[in-house]
Structure 1
Amino acid sequence: MKKTLILGASTNPARYSYLVANKLVRKGHAIVNVGRKKGDVAGVTIEPAETIHTDIDTITLYVGPHNQSVYYDYIIATNPKRLIFNPGAENAELLKLAKSKGIETVEACTLVMLNTGQY
């Protein structure tokens, strides 16, 4: 299964990042939760964007474009195979940067992808 880093993880059950974390775990995917606030989601602690994980297949992005620039170096250093821009996270600058580093970019809803077997 694909190991997924959820950037913008939240303990708020109303947030899509929370729903996706739980859905990924239920489907057998390993996850890494990265966010600003402390807590656990789907049994996994939310960590700050400090530790570079080198075994990430996908980063699914739940951070608005105006707050993403502080994560650019972290995303690139993590070197995922794929970066998913969820609705509201679309960012032409980061998309271009990721593509220049050979990272596949997708503008889609991770939850919909999981529900329709496209993940």
Structure 2
Amino acid sequence: MNYIPVVARFFLAAIFLRAGVSKIFGFDGVAAMMGNIGLPFPEVLLVGTIAFQILGSLSLILGYKTRIGVILLIIFIVPTSIIFHNPTDPTETTNFFKNLGLLGGLMMTLYSGAGPVSLDHRLGGYR
């Protein structure tokens, strides 16, 4: 049972890690899309997005400073859900609700911590 939280953290983080890495390789296209919808300074926002996604997901996977990593991902996913996955757009409803599910998993991790198989636990930060 001790390994359930580490597997759950990995599954939860995988989508953010993959998205962050793909944004690196598609930087120009993603920045252009962000600019096209009217976001100011899309390149700067995109660098922050990539940093939050990669650092947050690595934090979750390793179980190191997990709550900080979760907060980074929450800061990313809330505005993303509203801006890019508007629930009033029928083509985005499913993506919006998927993000709500991810947000729920992140909130559970924020509440419960990394679990016993984590660097946080090993370093004494697990409650």
**Structure 1 length-normalised TM:** 0.30
Give TM-score, length-normalised by structure 2: 0.29
Q: In proportion to residue count, which structure has more strand?
A: 1
